Amino acid sequence: MALGPNDDHSGMDDATKLRGNAHWRLAVWGLRLAGLGLAVIAGGLVTRLWSTGAGLSILAVGMGIYLVGGVVVFIGFILVSRALPRLRPSYWRFRRTLMHDALQALS
């Protein structure tokens, strides 16, 4: 197997550079916030079975949290892509690293 720019080992230094960036941490926290919003939306859907008013309120709060999380991810992603030098990792590598960092246990 030939080592090339698309090999997983070539992105190791990119991931460590990203983890040290404040904008990257903003995007990671935004993705975690969006996940929390999805959990609240699921709770609102379950609650809607028993109480229409409370269920709709919880759904509205969940949608608000989810939308704020999406905006934070987008802003952090744009800021980190502008902060990196011209030879940036591909979008898919960014995405995979973002998902990996967001799903890791908080330390």
pLDDT tens string 37-63:
999 999 999 998 888 888 899 999 999
Q: Which position has the higher pLDDT, 107 or 96?
A: 96
Average pLDDT over the chain, rounded to whole? 81
Euclidean distance between the first and the last CA atom of the chain, given in angstroms as a whole number = 35
Distance (Å, rounded) from C-alpha 55 to C-alpha 21?
39
Counting Cα atoms < 13 Å in the Cβ hemisphere of 76 gives: 23
Residue 56 lies in a domain: yes
pLDDT at 49 (0 to 100): 87
pLDDT at 105 (0 to 100): 59
How many separate domains does the chain show?
A: 1
What is the residue range of 71's domain?
20-103
This prediction has a pTM of 0.74
Residue 98 lies in a domain: yes
Distance (Å, rounded) from C-alpha 23 to C-alpha 2?
33
Angle, nearest 10°, between helix axes 52-83 and 22-48? 160
Which amino acid is it at 61?
A: V
| C-beta separation of 31 from 103 below 8 A | no
Q: Which position has the higher pLDDT, 22 or 33?
A: 33
Q: Does the pLDDT value for residue 3 go beyond 80?
A: no
pLDDT at 7 (0 to 100): 47
Residue 76 lies in a domain: yes
